[in-house]
Chains A and B, each alone.
Chain A
Amino acid sequence: MAASIFRSEEMSLCQLFLSSEASYNCVAELGELGQVQFRDLNHEVNQFQRKFVNEVRRCDEMERILHYLEVQIKNADIPIADDGDNPEAPQPKEMVNLEATFEKLENELREVNSNAEALDRNFLELTELKHVLESAKIFLTHESDPTASLSQSLIATDEGKNEPQQLGFLAGVIPREKLAMFERMLWRVTRGNALFKNHDIETELKDPITGHMVRKCVYLIFFQGEKLKMKVKKICEGCRSTLYPCPDTAAEREEMLAGVKTRLADLNTVLSQTSDHRQRVLVASAKHLRSWLIKVRKIKAIYHALNMFNVDVTNKCLIGEGWVPNDDLVRVKEALRAGTEKSGTSVEPILNVMDTTMAPPTYHRTNKFTSGFQTLIEAYGVATYREVNPGLYTCATFPFLFAVMFGDLGHGIIMFLSALYMVLNEKKLAPIVRNSEIARMIFGGRYIIFMMGSFSMYTGFIYNDFFSKSVNVFGSSWHIGENATLGVTTYGEHEYMLSPDNTEDYVGYPYAMGLDPLWQISINKINFQNSYKMKISIIIGVIHMMFGVCLSIINHSYFRRYVNIYCEFIPQVVFLMSLFGYLCFLVFFKWFMYGDGPNFDEVHGSACAPSVLITFINMVLNKEDPPADPKCVSVYMFSGQKLFQQVLVILAIISVPILLIPKPFILKHQHKKKMSRRPLTEVVVDHDEQAATGGSTTSLVSNSKATSASPKGGAAPASGGGGHGHGHGDEFDFGEIFIHQGIHTIEYVLGSVSHTASYLRLWALSLAHNQLSEVLWNMVLKIGLVSDSTAGSVMVFALFAAWAFLTVSILVLMEGLSAFLHTLRLHWVEFCSKFYAAEGYIFEPFTFKSILNPDPNE
């Protein structure tokens, strides 16, 4: 178990024989344990033709009711109790009870709802009628005689005219947004022969069906004649307005209004009782909702898993297959036993470890610290089964490379503290961040940020960079002595030249740790730091890559690909070391042997120090430049360097064909030998050995093809394909292997050049970060600090806010993100490409955890 982060765990394919009675409980126990990945043995059978489809469907139905309940509860603003408990999967016979409970609840709720809706509608109608009557009063205030009929003609009937024309009118309520359309249409249809009056209802009314609040208004239409009345009525109906009867006389209206008001009051009490009842039902079910939901989902998950099982011919037992980590076999057996005991049958479940040639899934046991780093690596690719896992080393190298780019003590502290806060309060924060994707991402990487922050503090200390200022902790080794030469720069500023020769200027020993604070204020700071950081980048890069190459030998020897050690690993090391390893050696040599001051003679003085880069280029081109100064004697740093370099270049060149040519031939030879030794019919190889040798040959034959098929191979019927999974080893395509090896060689040789150069990003980003924070200091905060008026104190106050904001947002967040991405690239491309095949597929056990906690991160 301890080695599981180093390589993935050993898995075995197990066959489970479960008696029909016990199968449900056993799978339930396995779901609680969550360490078995079932294989789908019925993948050719349709989802709806499987054995337990009815049960799944019943669960769907229950889920539907629960969903309905949930919506109702949420609409009523009742909190759903979340006590975090984990109810066990109920027995199948309890399902009937659950179903009955849910159905009863649903019926009750639907009844209550329909009652409430009817009441609401009634209420709405009455309220609207009330408003109509009230508005009619406003419209008709000029009416003098309360007993006079509204529809009587306004103009007194003349004797000479025909019978008096009666004015008809209709009153109703319409949603406000339809008013304009309604009015226009009315005008069109009646050709302006209707008088339209409207009045807004002040209060919002509740729509009984949707429950939304709507604004409406009351209207009155006056018109003449029956025909027009028909038309107007049709329009009113067509525009979803409701017509209300409105008596002709004011007295009748008053009477009606009074009646309506008493009915409204009655209705209000009934309404409140209904909603109380509804509330009670909902509150009661809100208490159980979560546990019900979990129970139903568990049942559903179990039946889904059982649907992947084969049914025995006698129908007495179910046969399943699944991957189990070897370390958990005992726990799985215990779970099965517990499941059998629960179901009360005497038939013992049988767990059978099977021999197989299928590629097992990759499973790394991680904890909350390592899981973040493992995720970064798995985003690149899931490790091949039992391959060396870069995730382990990433835990240290990732924050370190990040910190090299992000080296600033101050910014590091900000990052460190914010991550520390997240780490210390992780229990409290976990439910809060669950809803926001970005927050969840940052929270998920809290340990990564924590490490990055603390490493940045270290590198910031080494760079002696604290918000772009230096800290003089140990006392600088440099002082401006009496003899310091004073010069004038081109900008007219005075400058001192300090020489290490002079004991007044230089105390004779360097600053105790990190860069001397004096460099921060020196003019040639950038020149000095560039040279230092570039060299450091190359050194770190070569070490990092070399480490990656060395990890590949662990893979080679584990998978018994001994050919690869001689034909890949050794030439790769020779190539890398003879070129770039030597480059690093030159850097160190120059650091130690050359310098200024009393300890160095003229030949080793700073004026005579040869450029490492030029030396290296000339070495590869086999060229020789004359020394810069005749006093320096030679461009070489030590005697015999020229010969040594020539040998190295030849070694590097020789290693290329070694990388390219022998391996395909050796493989071909091995294959021939194997074919002649083995009878053509079929071979049964011992499980362990076959896994190892089979694994090696397949991946050698065609590295990508053989294993990329493995996830699918995992789904193929296993029992039949036991021996034949080895099929890849039997075909040997020499041309393909040779081309593959060629690609591999070119990739490595060109890669080591470009990858080494790629590590220069460590320097580039570090420089950018340093410069940016210096600019921010000089352009923002410094303005406030240099001002000596009283206004300056106010300015500092404001400028500090700006400076702090920009520091956090640009330097910590954006620069941090950029450095993070570059680090990721260095790991994915430069590091992983040296040894990591990443052709596995992940272990996804059947577990109830995702049901309890839908959040994938937790």
Chain B
Amino acid sequence: MFIFQNIIIMLDSAFNIDCGYLEGLVRGFRNGILRQHDYLNLVQCESLDDLKLHLQSTDYGSFLANEASPLQVSVIDDKLREKLVIEFQHMRNHAVEPLATFMDYITYGYMIDNIVLLITGALHQRPISELMPKCHPLGTFDQIEAINVANTSVELYNAVLVDTPLAEFFGECVSEQDLDELNIEIIRNTLYKAYLESFYNYCKNLGGPTAEVMCPILAFEADRRAFIITVNSFGTELTKEDRAKLYPTCGRLYPDGLAALARADDPENVKQVAEFYAEYRALFEGAGNNPGEKTLEDKFFEYEVKLNVNAFMHQFHCGVFYSYLRLKEQECRNIVWISECIAQKHRAKIDNYIPIL
């Protein structure tokens, strides 16, 4: 049996039996990702209508054709997202195991964000119907609109989340405390930590090229969260112990780096931690908030884009689906950024998008 399994694993091309069609599809989609010369054209646009005209000549085609002029940035954003979601859901509907679970895992991240968004909104007495359009369509589930039934995290779990796939991640954050701003943030990060670790293990168990590709990407995602949680926690009432609990443990920082991060008191300490890791050192160097410098966030995004582009160099693995979604999201952010700059006539920073190909 063992030998037999080995043979199956060795036959990478067996991947094509189930997922070959979708992989072909996603690679085709990837070829539609805007290239450098497209961006060069986009930043020259005088108005959003120019932008629309240029996007028509790319793979986006006539996705804005039915929108009346003058265009709003929010409309562009919605349409970009809608197109991506349709593509993703089309692939999800055709997927079989293990790709189906893999793609479901991708959506869990959006679910977490949506839940947090809704609870925060409910705390501020905003009606659910107003918040729903702001939720990411990939992260909706049946019970989501009933979320304001819950006042405490126990209720949240018992009433809403118990039937969703997120239930297994919720184990650690059940408490009788009322939901407040900080609490929600902790819930979000705890959920995310559990989610990332679970996703990481899932990919690892899949083995083969999927693990090879996805583990570094998820490890980076974990480390990025650890860094950002640390940086953002300075000056809040979050204790160091609580903070340490939020670090995902599937990254390269685990365990030494995380321990060091847990002790950090100011951004300088964080930078020192990053010094020990070659790839992160490069990101922290030259990052800053001064004009002409890239922010740490942008640096992280750039590195993420690089990892995701590299994912397409391998064949026969599920990682391309994850990477495609991430790249496309980055592209949407870029287009929205450029549109905002055009709409607000604020051209100085228009080049701050993150090129993909």
Contacts and interface: CB of A to CB of B under 8 A. Distances in A.
Interface of A: 46-49, 53, 56-57, 60-61, 63-64, 67-68, 178, 181, 184-185, 188-189, 231, 234-235, 237-240
B271 interface: no
B143 A238 contact: yes
B145 A238 contact: yes
B69 A238 contact: no
B147 interface: yes
Contacts of A53: 50, 53
Nearest to A56: B53
Contacts of B160: 185
Interface string B126-162: 0010000000000000111111110000010011101
A239 B69 contact: no
Given A46-B44, A238-B145, 11 more contacts: A47-B54, A48-B45, A48-B53, A49-B44, A189-B159, A235-B159, A238-B128, A238-B148, A238-B149, A239-B142, A239-B143
Contact of A235 (B57, B149, B163): B149
Contacts of B57: 47
Nearest to B146: A238
B65 A60 contact: yes
10 closest A-B pairs (Cβ-Cβ)? A238-B146, A48-B50, A238-B145, A48-B53, A234-B149, A189-B159, A181-B142, A235-B146, A188-B159, A64-B66
Nearest to B149: A234
7 contacts: A46-B41, A48-B45, A67-B66, A231-B149, A234-B146, A237-B128, A239-B145
Interface in B24-56: 41, 44-46, 49-50, 53-54
A239 to B, nearest CB: 6
B1 interface: no
Contacts of B53: 47-48, 53, 56-57, 60
B146 A64 contact: no
B68 interface: yes
Contact of B163 (A63, A64, A181): A181
A177 B44 CA distance: 49
A56 B46 CA distance: 16
Nearest to A57: B49
Chain A facing B: main interface SS: helix
A188 B162 contact: yes
A235 B128 CA distance: 12
Contacts of A184: 163
A64 B65 contact: yes
A237 B146 CA distance: 7
Given A46-B41, A48-B46, A48-B50, A181 B149 contact: no
Nearest to A234: B149
Interface string B294-336: 0000000000000000000000000000000000000000000
A104 to B, nearest CB: 15
Nearest to B127: A237
Which one of A53, A60, A178, A181 has the greatest number of beta carbons of chain B within 10 Å? Answer: A60
A63 B65 contact: yes
Contacts of A181: 142-143, 163
B69 A188 contact: no
Contacts of A234: 146, 148-149
B111 to A, nearest CB: 16
A240 B149 contact: no
Contacts of A68: 66
Contacts of B46: 48
B48 to A, nearest CB: 11
A46 B41 CA distance: 7
A61 to B, nearest CB: 6
Contacts of A231: 149
A46 B38 CA distance: 11
Contacts of B146: 185, 234-235, 237-239
Contacts of B158: 188-189
A35 to B, nearest CB: 27
B65 A46 contact: no
Contacts of B163: 181, 184-185
Interface string B75-101: 000000000000000000000000000
Contacts of A48: 45-46, 49-50, 53-54
B145 A240 contact: yes
A46 B68 contact: no
Contacts of B66: 64, 67-68
A185 B54 contact: no
A686 B155 CA distance: 91
A105 to B, nearest CB: 14
Given A47-B54, A53-B53, A67 B145 contact: no
A234 B142 CA distance: 15
A498 to B, nearest CB: 60
B271 to A, nearest CB: 43
Contacts of B142: 178, 181, 239
